[in-house]
Amino acid sequence: MSVIKVAILGFGTVGEGVYKTIHSHAQELEGVLGSKVEVAAVLIRNKQKKRNIDEDVLITSDFNEILSLPQLDVVVEAIVDKEPTFTFLKQAIRRGSHIITANKEMFAHHGNELLELAESHKVSVGFEATVAGGIPVIQTLRQLLNVNRVGTVQGILNGTSNFILTEMREKKQSFAAALRLAQEKGYAEADPTNDVEGFDAFYKTMILSRIAFGKEPNWQNVEREGITSITRELIETAEKLGLRFKHIASISKIGSQINAAVKPTLVGKSHPFYGVEGVENAVNVHSDIVGRITLQGPGAGMFPTASAVIEDLVYVCQNQLSNKNFTNITEACDGEKKGNEKELWLIQGLSKNDNNPLITWVAQATDETAIIQASREEIEKLINQQKATCYFQIIGEYEKEIKNKEVTLAVL
């Protein structure tokens, strides 16, 4: 029987998960691929550290040793940072190996170059694990895209932020306390910037945009806001109104223009993201034939991410992954739309006495906050004029919930 030789770069959470899963599911892999899958090498930084790796596996901190292996079918990359990862993967492709990556930052920056290089070397690139961990969102999008035209994609793409927002709401904690807990549980890094400032979600959003629309917006034009401005008080106010804060990425295509934003948003009970709590991720795809589909599941963690990598492993070995969705991506597009449609907002600091005919007052929520209906343009004017301090969009069918009396709006 033939053997598929795999190298794993990095032996952190994801790398170790992939290693363990290749062992624990050896029989399934052999069944589906008709070949035995063997880990031939693991790239690590510190050779002294004790690890639970079989003796016949090459353990090295020198990537050239891996490139020199007599057989190397697939390189799985589970490191962080853009470099030297990008260089390693280019070398692996040139050597004729398929590559699979879980590194969103690197892939958001260099995905296109890798896919083009892979195309010319007749190998495949798997990147399911870069977005939403174990949820098969990239495969599902590709499948839908066979015939559907996708209009909007929304996602809760950062499990750490979602965990923090859930903790703050459920246990009435401050942002700082919830972040500490996330760090204790291993959900957040010592430097949590990437997660709580929305960078991680931003990279994933750009990857999703390329899959869904074949291109991405100009990065500079995308509104990116993290969750650090969300206070316990805001969360409590929202809760009383039947709303929850979620850190939501949204990408939509209107004509040839791509609009995208990654920021805290309010959702009502009828939105499928309302019940997505803790470290869960979710993705919502609106497309023309099928309508709205939501996928929800574990967005990170050792085994969910490993599962995504292993699925890619199956696809690249079966030559079922094409690189084609990624060819047309250099178009520069706008970021968030500057629409004139009236939308719902939770706004802080606005006085009801400040009569403005372009704004509809829906309800006073607390002394400080109110729900209003206005266009984005008007909202931004209010902020510029310092008539309001902050604002959050309410998405979903909240108006219907108000009408159906599923929420109680206490009017002061």
Which residues contact a copy of itself by CB under 8 A? Answer: 21, 25, 28-29, 32, 134-136, 139-140, 143-144, 146-149, 170, 269-272, 274-277, 287, 289-298, 301, 303-304, 306-308, 310-311, 314, 320, 404, 406
- Catalytic, out of 20, 47, 171, 204: 204
Nearer CB in complex with a copy of itself: 276/372: 276
* CA angle (255, 109, 332) in 5-degree steps: 25
**Smallest distance from a copy of itself to CB 94, Å:** 28
Q: If you search the block for the tokens 């057989």, which residue do you land on?
A: 71
Nearer CB in complex with a copy of itself: 24/218: 24
Measured between alpha carbons, how far is 125 from 333 in angstroms, rounded to an integer? 26
SS3 label, residue 40: strand
Q: If you search the block for the tokens 């246990």, which residue do you land on?
A: 171
**Residue environment code for 247-257, b if the CB has 16+ CB neighbours within 10 A, otherwise e:** bbbbbbbeeee
Q: Phi, psi at residue 36, to the nearest 5°?
A: -80, 140
Strand 150-156 to 243-254 pairing: antiparallel
**Smallest distance from a copy of itself to CB 136, Å:** 6
Measured between alpha carbons, how far is 142 from 124 in angstroms, rounded to an integer? 15
Nearer CB in complex with a copy of itself: 302/383: 302
Nearer CB in complex with a copy of itself: 145/329: 145
Measured between alpha carbons, how far is 97 from 81 in angstroms, rounded to an integer? 21
Q: Is 337 marked active-site?
A: no
Residue 125: which of 328, 327, 329 has the closest Cα? 327
**Smallest distance from a copy of itself to CB 241, Å:** 17
**Smallest distance from a copy of itself to CB 170, Å:** 6
Q: Catalytic residue numbers?
A: 204
